[in-house]
Homo-oligomer: A and B are copies of this chain.
């Protein structure tokens, strides 16, 4: 039996309405010892926690239109993470195993079942463990299936990615470039725009916060129109895209991060373009495509090792920094995939 640890956790204090703030979360130190798992369960030491757009969605009141259950006020927030098994009563998992999947925002997590965990296959100098919160985890598979399965891309097509510097966007742009598409991304700072072009190989990029008129900005970047839009943002960005889409264009709706902190979502006014341009718009979520994870993993690990794909993370250190880092995801403060490294200083 492993040494029993005390714990530190992030709790949701109450359902969030409007802008997410630090007061909505509480950091709690537990002096009671961790229990040992029941039969079939695991005790995890969490190493990297992942902050994603969908975390905010789960902080709102329960709503049948959400894809995931809301968190329970007063309870520990859960999230994707990378963890090490430190005690196991499940036959397929052993002490020392590294796993990724859904865990708690806390130092140690007792899971009754490893249903949402995947054993980590590759780690080496070129494949940091934290990548399993991003490029090799949920955001990576989301980008891959969203682009290849939902967008039906063809070589030479023009692709627009909003929130292009996020955990998913930076990958969509690179997948599109590998396919021979013309790719433009948007982000919220000059620094990110430069990195999109110089580090990630986007053909062009713009700072949406500096554009007077998004419709004009897209027209400038896509004089021949947009064939594929990878939608991470929503609201007025979608309206501007719709009028710039080409006939038979495709829109993969991955998320609408501009909307998650709003009490009422912005109206989208240009849906008539769906008809006139015969656009296909399709929402999707990664869990529907988990059967594709093994082939995705092999391909992307190879891309990483060959230097064909790069990935940028924004890593903060320590659970105390996690609430502020999560808030930053919705203002675009993070530069790359937002990860929280914990439990490294014991």
Q: Which of A269-292 contact B (CB under 8 A)?
A: 269-285, 288
User: How far in angstroms is the closest Cβ of chain B from A72?
Assistant: 19
A205 at the interface (CB under 8 A from B): no
Whether B283 pairs with A274 at a CB distance below 8 angstroms is yes
- A38 contacts the other chain (CB 8 A): no
Assess whether B269 is in contact with A266, with CB atoms less than 8 Å apart.
yes
List, in ascending order, chain B residues with CB within 8 A of A268's CB: 267-269, 271
Contact with B along A205-218 (1 / 0, CB 8 A): 00000000000000
**Complex: how many Å from CA A254 to CA B278?**
9
Chain B residues whose CB sits within 8 angstroms of the CB of A65 once the complex forms: 242-243, 270, 272-273, 276-277
Most buried by B among A238, A273, A281: A281
A 37-83 contacts with B by CB, 8 A? 64-67
Give which listed residue, B67, B273, B280, contacts A276 with CB less than 8 A: B67
The answer to the question of A259 belonging to the interface, with a C-beta cut-off of 8 Å to chain B, is: yes
Question: Of B66, B270, B279, B282, which contacts A265 at CB under 8 A?
Answer: B270
A90 to B242, CA, bound (A): 42
Q: Which single member of B273, B275, B282, B283 contacts A254 (CB below 8 Å)? A: B275
Which residues on the B side are within 8 Å of A284 (C-beta)? Answer: 275, 278
Q: How far is the CB of A278 from chain B (nearest CB, A)?
A: 5
Check A278 against B267 for contact (C-beta < 8 Å). Answer: no
- Chain B hits for A269, CB < 8 A: 264-268
Picked from B266, B275, B283, B285, the residue with its CB within 8 Å of the CB of A256 is: B275
A234 within 8 A of B: yes
Which of B253, B266, B275 is within 8 Å of A283, CB to CB? B275
Q: Least Cβ distance of A245 to chain B in Å?
A: 9
CB<8 Å pairs between A and B, sample of 5? A65-B273, A65-B276, A256-B271, A266-B269, A268-B271
